[in-house]
């Protein structure tokens, strides 16, 4: 099936075909199918072309994070996840577009121009892994790596009609993932092929000495708490668009029709996830992004008169507005005397949310929720304001705050745009997510975008 990269001629042809097809989409920031060889022709991922989000290090490729401040930065090393992909025979063919440093839900906050949704080019792909989602939806690559800090894999997967896995925090090494919010960040997989998504996850997971927050993933698959998969869903008015409302109901109905147990729950702590998420994420980001100062690498201002001045000007010129906003917010919540009020309080609520979800998963396996309250919105002013976008992250950020895995699945197409839902599970229960998605895949088969390759 994936023989497209076997010979140098194949690669050249692939390169030409994909670069042409990507012209109207702009999912890749860098595309070069000739750079990497297959390192394991008999490996489980032999010759499979990969797109990799541009905040994940691939030796010899740029690592811009879609930011001007890293515009010319070429990675001297491989992320552990990339190292494992290559060892399994996969071939990285390019780096995909994203919101700058992963901060956004549209990919329009890329310093190098946004990405168009392959279903409707007037619409965004979602974000921040919008390039990876679009590349997969448009059939440019069978699979791509993304990263998820607050929904950055699952929301664009939903917008583009593909599967998107956010693994358990620590299941996949973060070494080589440019940090946005270290306690929330995780590398994951986007693909139209559920089996391939699972296969890639199984290749990239595992403890890594480079990342002391990585975990020893259990070798035994998780078992359903009641012997057979059981589900929960969110009750009440969730503020969904009609299309999403319809999709959510259809999903719940499909689960019932298949004869699985499903019950409604209320999770009051969900009301707090947005402020908690933005407090923790921006606090960590304010420190994580402090290293970009134009001294050792990256954009350097021509104006600096003293070392301190040089750093200030380089940062001012190099970062986009959304990134500056989040750095300022993070600096604000961490300032001396206010930590109890913001950062520490947010951590306490986070613990409460974790308890709530542990409780849910003590009696059921899968929690289903929308990925986003609406379908893909339009670019620019016709779409959602940055504030509306942040508030709408409430269904996704929860999994990052708890560290539990979640899988975005397509559940149909409405008005020419995909509808996506999420499945959540307990820690290290990715296998249950895949099992559940497989059960539902005949009801909700993956649809191809209009001009997909």
Partner 1 sequence: MIESFIGLEIHIQLLTKTKVFCNCKNEFTHVPNSHVCPVCMGYPGVLPVLNEEAVRKAYIVCRAMNCHLNEKAVFDRKNYFYPDMPKNYQISQFNSPFGVKGLIEMDGMPKVRIHDAHLEEDAGKLVHEGMTSYCDYNRAGTPLLEIVTEPDFKKPEEAELFMQNFRKMVRYLGVCDGNMEEGSMRCDVNVSVNFEGKGLGRKVEVKNLNSFRHVKLALQYEIQRQSRMITAGESVVQETRLWNDEKKRTEGMRSKENANDYRYFPEPDLPPYCPTKEFLAQIDAAQVELPWVRKKRFIDEYGLNEDGAEFLTEEKDKADFFENAVKGGISVANAASWMRGEVAKDLNKAKKSLCDSFLTVEKFVTVIKLLEAEKINAQAAKKVMDIIINEDADPMQVIEKNNLMQTADSGEVEAMVEKLLAENTKVVAQIKGGDQKPIGFLIGQLMKVSGGKADPKKARELILNKISQLG
Interacting residue with partner 1 among 27, 75, 375, 429 (CB under 8 A): 75
* Closest of 72, 70, 94, 90 to residue 82, by C-alpha: 90
Please tell me the distance from the alpha carbon of residue 284 to that of residue 381, in angstroms, as a whole number.
29
> Candidates 57-65, 221-229, 360-368, 397-405 — which segment interacts with partner 1 by CB under 8 A?
57-65
| Contact call for residue 92 and partner 1 (CB under 8 A) | no
| Contact call for residue 295 and partner 1 (CB under 8 A) | yes
Residues 177-196 binding partner 1 (CB under 8 A) are 177-179, 181-183
Q: In the stretch 202-241, what mask flags binding to partner 1 with x, by CB under 8 A? A: -------xxxxx----------------------------
| Contact call for residue 319 and partner 1 (CB under 8 A) | no
**Least distance (Å) from partner 1 to the CB of residue 351?**
13
> Candidates 4-12, 115-123, 225-233, 290-298 — which segment interacts with partner 1 by CB under 8 A?
290-298
Q: Tell me which residues are annotated as active site.
A: 53, 128, 152
* Closest of 262, 254, 230 to residue 442, by C-alpha: 254
* Closest of 424, 404, 400, 430 to residue 183, by C-alpha: 400
CB closer to partner 1, 223 vs 335: 335
- Interstrand relation of 49-53 and 91-96 (parallel, antiparallel or unpaired): parallel
| Contact call for residue 65 and partner 1 (CB under 8 A) | yes
**Least distance (Å) from partner 1 to the CB of residue 184?**
9
Interacting residue with partner 1 among 228, 263, 335, 358 (CB under 8 A): 335
| Contact call for residue 176 and partner 1 (CB under 8 A) | yes
CB atoms within 10 A of CB 226: 11
- List residues near partner 1 by CB under 8 A: 55-57, 63, 65, 70, 73, 75-77, 79, 174-179, 181-183, 209-213, 283-284, 286-287, 290-293, 295-297, 307-308, 310-311, 331, 334-336, 339, 343
């Amino acid at each position: 099936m994936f023989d497209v990269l076997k010979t140098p001629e194949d690669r050249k042809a692939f390169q030409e075909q994909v670069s042409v097809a990507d012209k109207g989409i702009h999912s890749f920031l860098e595309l070069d199918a000739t750079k990497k060889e297959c390192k394991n022709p008999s490996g489980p991922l032999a010759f499979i072309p990969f797109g990799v989000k541009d905040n994940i290090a691939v030796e010899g490729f740029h690592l811009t994070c879609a930011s001007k401040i890293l515009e010319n930065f070429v990675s001297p090393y491989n992320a552990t996840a990339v190292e494992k992909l290559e060892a399994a025979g996969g071939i990285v063919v390019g780096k995909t577009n994203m919101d700058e440093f992963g901060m956004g839900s549209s990919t329009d906050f890329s310093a190098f121009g946004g990405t168009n949704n392959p279903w409707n080019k007037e619409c965004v792909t979602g974000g921040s892994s919008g390039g990876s989602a679009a590349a997969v939806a448009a059939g440019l690559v069978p699979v791509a790596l993304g990263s998820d800090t607050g929904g950055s894999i699952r929301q664009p997967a939903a917008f583009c009609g593909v599967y998107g896995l956010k693994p358990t925090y620590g299941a996949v090494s973060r070494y080589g993932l440019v940090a946005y919010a270290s306690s929330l960040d995780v590398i994951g997989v986007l693909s139209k092929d559920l089996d391939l998504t699972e296969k890639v996850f199984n290749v990239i997971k595992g403890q890594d000495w480079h990342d002391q927050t990585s975990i020893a993933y259990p070798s035994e698959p998780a078992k359903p708490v009641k012997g057979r998969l059981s589900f929960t869903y969110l009750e009440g008015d969730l503020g969904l668009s009609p299309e999403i409302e319809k999709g959510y109901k259809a999903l719940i109905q499909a689960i019932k029709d298949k004869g699985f147990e499903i019950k409604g729950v209320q999770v009051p702590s969900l009301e707090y996830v947005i402020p908690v998420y933005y407090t923790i994420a921006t606090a960590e980001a304010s420190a994580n992004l402090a290293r970009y100062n134009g001294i050792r690498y990256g954009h350097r201002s021509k104006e600096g008169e003293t070392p301190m001045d040089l750093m200030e000007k380089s940062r001012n010129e190099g970062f986009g507005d959304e990134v500056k906003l989040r750095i300022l917010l993070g600096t604000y919540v961490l300032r001396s005397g206010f930590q109890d009020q913001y950062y520490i309080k947010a951590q306490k609520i986070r613990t409460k949310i974790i308890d709530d979800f542990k409780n849910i998963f003590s009696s059921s396996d899968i929690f289903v929720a929308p990925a986003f309250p609406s379908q893909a919105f339009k670019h620019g002013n016709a779409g959602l304001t940055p504030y509306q976008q942040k508030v709408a992250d409430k269904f996704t950020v929860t999994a990052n705050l708890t560290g539990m895995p979640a899988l975005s699945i397509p559940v149909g197409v409405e008005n020419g745009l995909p509808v996506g839902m999420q499945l959540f599970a307990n820690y290290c229960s990715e296998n249950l997510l895949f099992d559940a998605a497989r059960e539902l895949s005949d009801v909700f088969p993956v649809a191809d975008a209009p001009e997909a390759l």
